[in-house]
């Protein structure tokens, strides 16, 4: 794969952002903030890149877009989406924030393919003016990927200086042995699984224990899919490092308004407003504030 694969399908817009074209689809980047708990306040520390496909000007489901793409094109589409996210992150996100980029390890069936793709990615990072140390590569164990493929790919990511995040922890294919083998920097907990555990005292105790165990190993944690105030309260109480979800901020299409979260902009927002937890759920004394943001598609 050459560097031209991603850029050949990229269009630079008048506002400095980039869009992609693949067949009948126009592709845009959206970014969702990831917040960290710091001394009772919430601070934006990272953004996750999310692809948003359009057809004839109408938004389409990302899942439907990927399901209609031939398997043989998946490697090139991955290159295009990474290129879009990196170019747009360089154009419209705070310079100090980390950037979470999704990877499907199953398309990197050989180490040479991974090495070529990551060389391409580093060139795009240079063009976007992004320090590679800001990049967090999210990997999910796909059913089509062997353990050897997964481990080899993560080794290639680490050799290029990128941080590793295991996505959807707690989903069907996730287990503690995989964490031990991959030794990620970050674990992102599956949103549905988190909600189930928060429904009971025993489940929440288990969740807190897992967070503590990961933190003791130097692994930071992200709770995804936080959509209600009581979930945010419990996330803080559990000791989770970071949180992400609609209760905090929705994804925005590039260009975003998220530069306001830069270190030279407004200070972190204190978590002060009380939120009542549903019956049977234990809430901490100080939840975080809910942020209103315009939505992406």
Measured in whole angstroms, how far is the alpha carbon of residue 182 from the centre of its chain? 18
CB-based contact 113:1 (threshold 8 Å): yes
Predicted confidence at residue 177, as pLDDT, reads 79
Distance from C-alpha of 157 to C-alpha of 211, rounded to nearest angstrom: 24
Distance from C-alpha of 286 to C-alpha of 25, rounded to nearest angstrom: 44
The total number of residues written for the chain in this structure: 297
CB-based contact 96:262 (threshold 8 Å): yes
> For residue 58, which of 266, 220, 297, 261 has the smallest C-alpha distance?
297
Which pLDDT tens digit goes with each residue over 116-140?
Answer: 899 999 999 999 999 999 999 999 7
Predicted confidence at residue 202, as pLDDT, reads 95
Residue 208 burial class via C-beta count within 10 angstroms: exposed 0-12, middle 13-18, buried 19 and up: middle
Predicted confidence at residue 236, as pLDDT, reads 95
Residue 194 burial class via C-beta count within 10 angstroms: exposed 0-12, middle 13-18, buried 19 and up: buried
The 10 Å Cβ neighbour count of residue 259 is 14
Under DSSP, is residue 11 helix (H, G, I), strand (E, B) or coil? strand
CA distances from 231 to 24, 100, 190, 281 (A): 39, 22, 13, 9
Predicted confidence at residue 5, as pLDDT, reads 66
CB-based contact 255:219 (threshold 8 Å): no
The pTM assigned to this predicted structure is 0.84
pLDDT tens, the chain, 297 aa long: 444 566 668 889 888 899 999 989 999 999 999 999 988 789 999 999 999 999 999 999 998 898 888 888 888 999 999 999 999 999 999 999 999 999 988 888 888 999 989 999 999 999 999 999 999 999 976 665 678 888 889 999 999 999 999 998 986 655 787 888 899 999 999 999 999 999 999 999 999 999 999 999 999 999 999 999 999 999 999 999 999 999 999 999 998 887 666 665 544 444 434 333 333 333 332 333 333 332 333
Predicted confidence at residue 273, as pLDDT, reads 40
Backbone angles phi, psi at 172, to 5 degrees: -55, -40
Predicted confidence at residue 2, as pLDDT, reads 43
């Amino acid at each position: 794969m050459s560097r031209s694969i991603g850029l050949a399908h990229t269009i630079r817009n008048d506002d400095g952002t980039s869009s992609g074209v693949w067949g009948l689809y126009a592709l845009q980047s959206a970014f969702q903030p990831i917040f960290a708990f710091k001394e009772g306040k919430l601070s934006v520390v990272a953004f996750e890149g999310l692809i948003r496909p359009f057809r004839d000007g109408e938004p389409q489901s990302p899942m439907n877009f990927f399901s209609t793409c031939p398997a043989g094109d998946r490697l090139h589409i991955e290159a295009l989406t990474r290129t879009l996210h990196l170019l747009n992150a360089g154009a419209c996100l705070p310079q100090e924030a980390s950037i979470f980029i999704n990877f499907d390890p199953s398309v990197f069936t050989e180490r040479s393919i991974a090495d070529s793709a990551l060389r391409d990615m580093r060139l795009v990072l240079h063009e976007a003016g992004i320090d590679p140390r800001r990049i967090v590569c999210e990997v999910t164990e796909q059913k089509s990927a062997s353990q050897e493929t997964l481990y080899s790919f993560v080794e290639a990511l680490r050799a290029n200086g990128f941080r590793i995040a295991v996505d959807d922890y707690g989903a069907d294919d996730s287990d503690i042995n995989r964490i031990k083998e991959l030794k990620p920097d970050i674990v992102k907990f599956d949103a549905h699984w988190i909600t189930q555990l928060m429904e009971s005292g025993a489940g929440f105790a288990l969740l807190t224990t897992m967070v503590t165990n990961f933190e003791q190993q130097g692994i930071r944690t992200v709770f995804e899919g936080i959509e209600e105030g009581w979930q945010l309260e419990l996330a803080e109480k559990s000791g989770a490092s970071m949180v992400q979800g609609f209760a905090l901020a929705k994804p925005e299409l590039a260009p975003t308004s998220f530069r306001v979260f830069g270190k030279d902009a407004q200070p972190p927002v204190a978590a002060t407003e009380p939120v009542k937890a549903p019956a049977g759920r234990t809430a901490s004394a100080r939840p975080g504030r809910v942020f209103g943001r315009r939505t992406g598609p």
